[in-house]
Amino acid sequence: QVQLVESGGGLVQAGGSLRLSCAASGRTFSTYAMGWFRQAPGKEREFVAIINWSGDSTSYADSVKGRFTISRDNAKNTVYLRMNSLKPEDTAVYFCAATLRYGSSWSARASPDNYDYWGQGTQVTVSS
């Protein structure tokens, strides 16, 4: 069982930056690949990024590539999402999620069905 708690969301102007954190409980955190998703009002949950258990492999959605960076600190049981050059269209509730399956394809990594545990989410609002 893994419990996930996100933090770091807030209101920021376009072009600004935020760093989200996701703290995980449990001694097996380092065995999980960790992902970030987001969901805007009226839209489906959307994949943002994933990092494998050791932190040496990542994948990103095209919409955030070059602006967002996912990282993890297994000693602190925490995964991060650094978001730079934020745009109004990045406004959403951001969720972290854990999976034992990093996935052999981008589509597998991007599917919410691939993830076993989810946090409650943190709101990110980007004003224009």
- pLDDT at position 95: 98
Q: What is the 3-state secondary structure (H, E, C) of the chain?
A: CCCEEEECCEEEECCCCEEEEEEECCCCHHHCEEEEEEECCCCCCEEEEEECCCCCCEEECCCCCCCEEEEEEHHHCEEEEEECCCCHHHCEEEEEEEECCCCCCHHHHHCHHHCCEECCCEEEEEEC
- pLDDT at position 56: 94
- Tens-place pLDDT, residues 12-55: 999 999 999 999 997 788 899 999 999 999 999 999 999 999 99
- pLDDT at position 44: 96
Average confidence (pLDDT) over 87-93: 98
